[in-house]
Structure 1
Amino acid sequence: MLHLAYQPLLPTGSKYLQLKWDQASYDMHRRKVKSAKPTINTTPPTTYNHLALKQKKQKLEEQRMMKIQKENNMLLEKISHIMRTTGRIDNRNDYERKSLGRERRQLEMLRITKENQMILFRLSQCRPHYNVRIWHEDWLKTLKVMDSIARYPRGWAQQQKDKEKSCQKSSDCENEEKTSTDATGRTAESNTTSGKAESEEKGERKDASKEEAEALVQGGAGTHTAPKLSAPDLITNTRNKHPHAAESSPSSDKTEMSNTPNTTRVSRPCTPDTQTHEQETAGSDYKDTT
């Protein structure tokens, strides 16, 4: 009764036969699909036992282990033999070190020592080519020539520096003493008396400077008696024309004033006429003494 409900694609005379034929063709198609083989081989590659097991490597490893085991057994036997008996070990060594080139080295050392001794003997016997005594005499002659040519005596600059340093030290000491005395004895009465004394000293200084200026002016017209000067004062007066001597003169004045702290300092007017007059008088006095 199924063939009655079957609807074929093409018109047929018998639905029963057409159903039977279509079913047979469909079954054959399904058998072909099931029995179809793939065109691409997706199966895994074949494995070979000789590549997976590597019997050669296993054989070498067994031989190595057999060798190690044999050596261990030999070592164990030796240790057990030593533990059971005294063993065959001897710590004594009667070998003497021998050198094949010892004699030759000794002969070479003797030759070198002989040569060194000969060189030392020649060096000790040779005479010097230069004479130290002649060098010393030549140096003394050059010192004399230098002293005769020099404008200032040797060590003059160092002496001036020493004088300046001593003057500075003395002035610093005086200033410190003055400041200490002023700080301790500063009162109202002392301030008033010091002001009066300073005013009187200023007046005396002014008067003294005026008198000295008048005396210098009168002395330029008439005769002038120069004071006696010592040897260092004469040297400084004769060298007043040199610029370095002018710088060194204040240091000498400072030393003189510092050595006499009780004397009052008198300021002289520094005019070009008075300076030239003093230089001329100092030069004439130096000539008379020489």
Structure 2
Amino acid sequence: MHRSYQPLKPVTNRYLQQRWDHNEYENHRRKVISALPVVDNKGMRTPAHVQLKLKKMQWQDERLSIIDRDNRLLASKLADIVCSKGLVDHRNQNHLRSLNADKRREELLLVGRQNRAIYQRITARQSEYRRQLWLDDWERTERRRDEISQHPRGLAEKQRSSRKVKFAAAESSESSASCSNTDRTTEKPETQTDANNIG
């Protein structure tokens, strides 16, 4: 077989050259098989606290302990029911009692005392408003206004109150007796006002 082997370079002994080349190729194959990668592509190692999850284990232990305690309480209640003679215990002996009741009671008493003190101060205080002074001041203001004004205010109001005007539609709807009475009352002031205007 070494006689059919053709090396790349001219050699004196083909058999030895074939064996050397074969050995070099085997060494090369071994090196390729045992070669390690130059680039580390394995990724990051998972931290121990993520793998183990101690908090989750603690939560599971606490949950199991709560379940065991509830089971023991339930078993004790069932045992009491079995040992009793069929009596129904439906009354709750534990009364609800707030731990903060004393403090709230003291605060309510303090607020009540403060409110009473405020009420006594308010009722004992004399009023600073003087209604008579206000009325006297208003009368003085009205007198000055009447003295200053050219036409007194009271005359126009008296004329307006004594004078009554009736419309034709309103007169037709009313009865004749009521109309005659209102006409008599309205005629007198009109004649008086006409006389005043003429004079």
Question: Shorter-chain TM-score: what band?
Answer: 0.3 to 0.5
Q: Which has the higher contact order (CA 8 A, sep 6+)?
A: 1
Q: Which has the larger radius of gyration?
A: 1
Scaled by the length of structure 2, the TM-score of the pair is 0.43
Scaled by the length of structure 1, the TM-score of the pair is 0.32
